Amino acid sequence: MSQLTHVDKDNRPAMVDVSAKAVTRRSATAQSVVFLPPAVRKALVDGELMTAKGPVFHTAIIAGVMAAKKTHHLIPFCHPLGIENCKIAIELDDEDNARITCTVTVTHKTGVEMEALTGASVAALTIYDMCKALSHDMVIGQTRLLEKTGGKSDIHQQVEESEK
């Protein structure tokens, strides 16, 4: 088993020292899925993605970007980063899901996986918040890293057809 990176030699919590790492372009893409009960999906589609609280997906995109930029305030050992790009896309699939994809890019000594995961997660939470008056049967499902590039190792996760 590999060594945990956020524990020092004395087994105490510690921030990873990135001072000796090379500055490279780093990118990460994460996805979160929100199951929308039929009534919520119908209301969103019929209302052109609006609720009484406003434009659901547009608001979720803004919230997700804001969250990605503030990840270091939420996750104790994340380094503060000047994010250079954050894109969030939300689409409805054929299985009553809203699929949120968040891609974050930075030129730095550390990666942006946590920023991408945070952006996708908060966008999902925002959809839930904006639609909960319609139904509490929404389920925020799988949140996962799909891809990361530019660090010590690249990751490209396979997405099964049933997950698309």
Q: pLDDT of the chain along its 164 residues, tens only?
A: 457 787 888 888 888 889 888 899 999 999 999 999 998 998 888 777 777 778 999 999 999 999 999 999 999 999 999 999 999 999 999 998 999 999 999 999 999 999 999 999 999 999 999 999 999 999 999 999 999 998 777 778 766 554 55
Q: Does domain 24-147 have CATH number 3.30.70.640?
A: yes
CA dist 162 and 119 (Å) reads: 23
CB contact set of 94 (below 8 Å; sequence gap of 6+): none
Q: Which residues are catalytic?
A: 129
In the chain, what are the helix, strand and coil shares in percent, each to the nearest 5? 30, 30, 40
